[in-house]
Chain A
C-alpha cells in the first residue's frame, strides 16, 4: 500500500544530509516512523541539562535557535538542518537550549530507526560528528592525512593520471604487401614515427618505427624496394580500448616497447583501431607536477610560464574534484609557484646580464599567501628582496631594483597582478639591505601605527624562495630580539587579530551576525581565513618559533608546544584547510578570487563545514583576548 504521508516525509528527507547518504528503502523506513512536531514561535523545545528523548530533529519549516547557558546563540537552524543529535552519539543531557524563532515544524527521527545505518555508512558518522561539534567543540570534520582524503578506493597515486587515454584517432597503417619505401612515404605524409603493418582485414601483424628504418635500411643492408615485413617487429602487443595511462605505461615497461596497438578486443585477431606511443602518454601526463616543473625550468619567457601556470590551474581543479587533501595540494602548488618565481629570476638575471649580479648576495622573499605556501589561485604579487651590502660592488640597490622590476613584470605576465599597495621587491622600500630591513623592523615594532601593523601582518609571513637564505635567518633572529624588548607590539598585533570576528551562522540566504544582523554576502578571506592566519602568526611570534609560515603547519606546531590547547589548534588547522577548499572551489566556479560567497551558492554540506569552521576561530579569539589581556584595550 502506498502511503502518501510517508512519501511526503521521504521526499523531504532525501534532500538533506545525512539522509541523502542513505539508500531509498532506508529513508522510507525512517520516514514511516517519523514524528511530526509543530513548535509555535518563541517556544522552548528542550533546555540545557534535560535528558534527551531517544530522538533527534530536522527542521522541516521554520527556524530553531540553539543557545548556551549565558544566552549566547550558538546556532541557527533552518529548513533541512539537523540538530539535537546528542542522543545518537552520547548518553548525556543536552548542552544547549533549543527555542523556535518562528512557527516551526520539525521531523523527529527516532534514534532506534537511525542507529542501524550509522555503522554501515562512515560518511554519515562523519557528518554527524561534524554536526555534533557545534556547541560542544570536541569533535571535528574528518582528518586529512592521506593524499586523497576520500577513504574509498584511493590506492591510485595522484601523480598518475587515472583517466583513460583517448585512442580514438584514426590509425595510420600499411599493408603487409607494401614495400619499405611505400611505408616510409605514408609515415612521412602523416608525420608519424611508427606505422602498424596489417593484413587485408586490418588486423595488426607487425610494427615499424623510425628506428627500424634508420638501423635496418639506411645504416643496414636492406633495400627500400623490399617488403616491409623484412624490417617490422612482430607480433605487435595489443591492448583493448579504455585502459588508463598507468596501465599502458606498465605494459610498455614490461615489454620494453614504446608502442601499443589498440584493437577492438585487445588481441591481434581483431581490427586495429589505434596506436598509443610513449610520447602520447607523456603528452597526456603533461599536467603531472614533476613534468610541469621540468617544463618551467626549460621556459624562456613569461608567456611560456603563463601557459604552464594555466595547466597548474587545471591540475588544482582536478585535485579539488577528487577531494585530494588540501595540505597535499598546497604543498604541490606552492612548490610549482616557487619554481616559477625562481625561473623568472633566472630569466631576468640572464636578460640583464649575469656578470652584473656576480658576487651580489641577495634573497627573494615571498610574502603573504605565497609566503605561507597557501596560494592556489593566482592573486596579487607580494614580494620583497633582501641583499647583503658589499662596498666593493657599486650600485647594489639599483641593480637589485632593476632585477626585481624585471621579475615582477614576468610574474605579471604569468598572471600575478601587481600589488595595488606596491608591496613588491621593485619598490625601493621593499628592496633593502639586511641593515636597512633591521632598521625598518625596528621602526615598525617600536612605533607601531595601524599601517605598520598591517605591513607586519604581510611581511611576517616571509619565506625565502631564491638566493642566500642565510640573510633571512639573520633578519628573523634580529626581529625576535626586538620582540623580546617590546611586548607591547604583540598586544597590538593581538588586537589586530581580533578585528574581524567570524559570523555566527547561515540562515537561508543570509549570514547571521552575532548581533542578529543578516547579510547576503560573505567575505571568506576577511571573516574566516584572515582571523586564522592572524592568530597563527601572532601565537607563533609569541612563541618565537620562526621558520614555519603555513597557517595549518603553524597551528600543528603550536599544538605540540602548548599541549593544553592542542585540541583547539588542531581544530583550527582543519578549519583552515576547509576554508581553503571552499574558497578555491568557489573561485573556480565563479572564475574569480573566490573571496565573496553568497550563501545560496553553497550546498548544505559546505554551509555546515563553513559554519563549523567559525567555532575554532571564536575560541581562538577568546584565547588571544585572555592571553594578551585585551579586555581593557578593547
Chain B
C-alpha cells in the first residue's frame, strides 16, 4: 500500500514540481478503492460545478456542490456547497443559465474552494452527470492554485444510464436522450433547484442511487464491476 502511494507521489513529483499543501495532503491520504467491495460499502462523492461557460480554456467555475453517499444514504450535514469568488467577468450566457450575478457573491477564494473540494473528495469515487467536464474544470482550477489533477475513479451517471439500457455497447445510444432532466423524469426525481451546483449534485445523487440499484439487480454488485469501462 505504502509503496503504491510512493509510486504515485514519485510519479507526480518527478516533474520537479512542488505542490501546494492541499494537494500534497490529498495525495498522501489517497488510496485506490477496494474493487471487491460491495457497492453499498463504497463511498461515493456526487459533485456538480456551475461555470461561466462551456469553454474549458476561457471559462471559470462559479460554484461547486457535492454530497456523499455511503450505503444509499446521504448525510446532508456532510455536504459541500461553495461559491467561488471570481475575479473575471462572467459571460452573459452563464448569467442567463445560473442567475448568479457577480455582485451577489460573497464566496470563498479559488484557493480555498479547490482545497475544500480536494479535502471533501478524499479517496471516494467521484460521480457526476457528464462528469468529465466538471473534472477538467476542477483540475484546471487546481493546477492554477498549485495543485494537480484528481486521481479518483470517475463515474458518469449519463454513461451508467446508457449502460443500464445497453449492457454490451452503451456508447451506441444517443447521449441526447440521457440528459439530467430526462433521467430525472425517468426516475421520478423532481428537478427542483436545478442549475445551482449543490441542487444539481443532490438531484444527481438521488438519480445515482436509483441507477446503481437497477444495475445491482442486473448483477453489478461490486465496486469493480461498477467502475469498469
State the A residues within 8 Å of B (CB). Answer: 1, 3-9, 11, 31-40, 61, 103, 105, 108
Q: Is B74 within 8 A of A4, CB to CB?
A: no
Residues 192-229 of chain B, each 1 if its beta carbon lies under 8 Å from chain A, else 0: 11001011011001100110010010000000000000
User: What residues of B have a CB within 8 angstroms of the CB of A103 in the complex?
Assistant: 210, 213
Q: Is A35 within 8 A of B192, CB to CB?
A: no
Whether A5 contacts B199 in the complex (CB less than 8 A), given A38-B206, A39-B72, comes out as yes
Q: Is A38 within 8 A of B73, CB to CB?
A: yes
Q: Is A1 within 8 A of B81, CB to CB?
A: yes
Partner of A33, one of B73, B77, B202, B216: B77
Partner of A1, one of B76, B83, B199, B213: B83
Specify the chain A residue showing the minimal Cβ separation from B82.
Answer: A1
Q: Is A32 within 8 A of B72, CB to CB?
A: no
Q: Is B209 within 8 A of A8, CB to CB?
A: no
Q: Is A38 within 8 A of B213, CB to CB?
A: yes
Q: Is A4 within 8 A of B209, CB to CB?
A: no
A-B pair count, CB < 8 Å, reads 63
Partner of B81, one of A4, A9, A38: A4
Q: Is B73 within 8 A of A5, CB to CB?
A: no
Whether A33 contacts B76 in the complex (CB less than 8 A), given A4-B65, A4-B198, A38-B213, comes out as yes
- Closest approach, in angstroms, between the C-beta of A154 and any C-beta of chain B? 40
Partner of B199, one of A8, A33, A37, A108: A8
Q: List 8 A-B contacts (CB under 8 A).
A: A4-B81, A4-B202, A8-B199, A11-B192, A35-B73, A35-B74, A37-B74, A40-B72
User: What residues of B have a CB within 8 angstroms of the CB of A35 in the complex?
Assistant: 73-76
Residues 5-17 of chain B, each 1 if its beta carbon lies under 8 Å from chain A, else 0: 0000000000000
Instruction: Say whether B79 faces chain A, with CB atoms less than 8 Å apart.
Output: yes
Whether A105 contacts B193 in the complex (CB less than 8 A), given A5-B67, A9-B76, A34-B76, comes out as no
Partner of B79, one of A5, A7, A11, A105: A5
Whether A5 contacts B213 in the complex (CB less than 8 A), given A35-B76, A36-B73, A36-B74, comes out as no
Specify the chain A residue showing the minimal Cβ separation from B79.
Answer: A5
Residues 29-46 of chain B, each 1 if its beta carbon lies under 8 Å from chain A, else 0: 000000000000000000
Q: Is B188 within 8 A of A61, CB to CB?
A: yes
- Closest approach, in angstroms, between the C-beta of B91 and any C-beta of chain A? 23
Q: Is B73 within 8 A of A37, CB to CB?
A: yes
Specify the chain A residue showing the minimal Cβ separation from B203.
Answer: A8
User: What residues of A have a CB within 8 angstroms of the CB of B65 in the complex?
Assistant: 4-5
User: What residues of A have a CB within 8 angstroms of the CB of B73 in the complex?
Assistant: 35-38, 108
User: 5 closest A-B pairs (Cβ-Cβ)?
Assistant: A4-B199, A38-B209, A36-B74, A4-B193, A38-B72
Once bound together, how far apart are the Cα atoms of A66 and B65, in whole Å? 36
Once bound together, how far apart are the Cα atoms of A40 and B213, in whole Å? 7
Once bound together, how far apart are the Cα atoms of A37 and B83, in whole Å? 26
Partner of A6, one of B76, B83, B188, B213: B76
Q: Is B76 within 8 A of A31, CB to CB?
A: yes
User: What residues of A have a CB within 8 angstroms of the CB of B206 in the complex?
Assistant: 36, 38, 105
Q: Which of B81-112 contact A (CB under 8 A)?
A: 81, 83
- Closest approach, in angstroms, between the C-beta of A16 and any C-beta of chain B? 16
Once bound together, how far apart are the Cα atoms of A3 and B205, in whole Å? 16
- Closest approach, in angstroms, between the C-beta of B194 and any C-beta of chain A? 9
Specify the chain A residue showing the minimal Cβ separation from B217.
Answer: A40
User: What residues of B have a CB within 8 angstroms of the CB of A5 in the complex?
Assistant: 65, 67, 76, 79, 81, 193, 198-199, 201-202
Residue among A4, A37, A103, A105 facing the most chain B CB atoms (10 A cut-off): A4
**Interface class of chain B by DSSP:** mixed
Once bound together, how far apart are the Cα atoms of A163 and B145, in whole Å? 69
Once bound together, how far apart are the Cα atoms of A4 and B205, in whole Å? 14
Specify the chain B residue showing the minimal Cβ separation from A34.
Answer: B76
Once bound together, how far apart are the Cα atoms of A450 and B83, in whole Å? 75
User: What residues of B have a CB within 8 angstroms of the CB of A9 in the complex?
Assistant: 76
User: What residues of A have a CB within 8 angstroms of the CB of B198 in the complex?
Assistant: 3-5
User: What residues of B have a CB within 8 angstroms of the CB of A108 in the complex?
Assistant: 73
- Closest approach, in angstroms, between the C-beta of B116 and any C-beta of chain A? 12
Once bound together, how far apart are the Cα atoms of A3 and B199, in whole Å? 8
Specify the chain B residue showing the minimal Cβ separation from A11.
Answer: B192
Once bound together, how far apart are the Cα atoms of A8 and B67, in whole Å? 14
Once bound together, how far apart are the Cα atoms of A123 and B188, in whole Å? 34
User: What residues of B have a CB within 8 angstroms of the CB of A6 in the complex?
Assistant: 76
User: What residues of B have a CB within 8 angstroms of the CB of A31 in the complex?
Assistant: 76
Once bound together, how far apart are the Cα atoms of A329 and B134, in whole Å? 66
- Closest approach, in angstroms, between the C-beta of A111 and any C-beta of chain B? 15
Specify the chain B residue showing the minimal Cβ separation from A30.
Answer: B76
Q: Is B202 within 8 A of A8, CB to CB?
A: yes
Once bound together, how far apart are the Cα atoms of A455 and B201, in whole Å? 66
Residue among A32, A38, A39 facing the most chain B CB atoms (10 A cut-off): A38
User: What residues of B have a CB within 8 angstroms of the CB of A39 in the complex?
Assistant: 72
User: What residues of A have a CB within 8 angstroms of the CB of B213 in the complex?
Assistant: 38, 40, 103
User: What residues of B have a CB within 8 angstroms of the CB of A37 in the complex?
Assistant: 72-74
Once bound together, how far apart are the Cα atoms of A541 and B129, in whole Å? 70
User: What residues of A have a CB within 8 angstroms of the CB of B202 in the complex?
Assistant: 4-5, 8
- Closest approach, in angstroms, between the C-beta of A61 and any C-beta of chain B? 7
- Closest approach, in angstroms, between the C-beta of A508 and any C-beta of chain B? 14
Once bound together, how far apart are the Cα atoms of A82 and B56, in whole Å? 46
Q: Is B77 within 8 A of A32, CB to CB?
A: yes
Once bound together, how far apart are the Cα atoms of A39 and B74, in whole Å? 12
Partner of A32, one of B76, B83, B201, B210: B76
- Closest approach, in angstroms, between the C-beta of A629 and any C-beta of chain B? 50
User: What residues of B have a CB within 8 angstroms of the CB of A1 in the complex?
Assistant: 81, 83
Once bound together, how far apart are the Cα atoms of A1 and B83, in whole Å? 8
Specify the chain B residue showing the minimal Cβ separation from A62.
Answer: B188
Specify the chain B residue showing the minimal Cβ separation from A61.
Answer: B188
Once bound together, how far apart are the Cα atoms of A171 and B83, in whole Å? 65
Q: Is B74 within 8 A of A3, CB to CB?
A: no
Specify the chain B residue showing the minimal Cβ separation from A39.
Answer: B72
- Closest approach, in angstroms, between the C-beta of B186 and any C-beta of chain A? 12
- Closest approach, in angstroms, between the C-beta of A274 and any C-beta of chain B? 53
Q: Which of B45-86 contact A (CB under 8 A)?
A: 65, 67, 72-77, 79, 81, 83
Q: Is B81 within 8 A of A7, CB to CB?
A: no
Q: Is A4 within 8 A of B196, CB to CB?
A: yes
User: What residues of B have a CB within 8 angstroms of the CB of A8 in the complex?
Assistant: 192-193, 199, 202
Specify the chain A residue showing the minimal Cβ separation from B106.
Answer: A1
Once bound together, how far apart are the Cα atoms of A423 and B73, in whole Å? 63
Once bound together, how far apart are the Cα atoms of A6 and B196, in whole Å? 13
- Closest approach, in angstroms, between the C-beta of A581 and any C-beta of chain B? 35
User: What residues of A have a CB within 8 angstroms of the CB of B83 in the complex?
Assistant: 1
Once bound together, how far apart are the Cα atoms of A39 and B213, in whole Å? 9
User: What residues of B have a CB within 8 angstroms of the CB of A4 in the complex?
Assistant: 65, 81, 193, 196, 198-199, 202
- Closest approach, in angstroms, between the C-beta of B196 and any C-beta of chain A? 5
- Closest approach, in angstroms, between the C-beta of B46 and any C-beta of chain A? 11
- Closest approach, in angstroms, between the C-beta of A140 and any C-beta of chain B? 34
User: What residues of B have a CB within 8 angstroms of the CB of A33 in the complex?
Assistant: 76-77
- Closest approach, in angstroms, between the C-beta of B75 and any C-beta of chain A? 5
User: What residues of A have a CB within 8 angstroms of the CB of B74 in the complex?
Assistant: 35-37
Specify the chain A residue showing the minimal Cβ separation from B201.
Answer: A5
- Closest approach, in angstroms, between the C-beta of A137 and any C-beta of chain B? 32
Once bound together, how far apart are the Cα atoms of A473 and B177, in whole Å? 81
Once bound together, how far apart are the Cα atoms of A301 and B227, in whole Å? 87
Once bound together, how far apart are the Cα atoms of A11 and B216, in whole Å? 31
Specify the chain A residue showing the minimal Cβ separation from B196.
Answer: A4
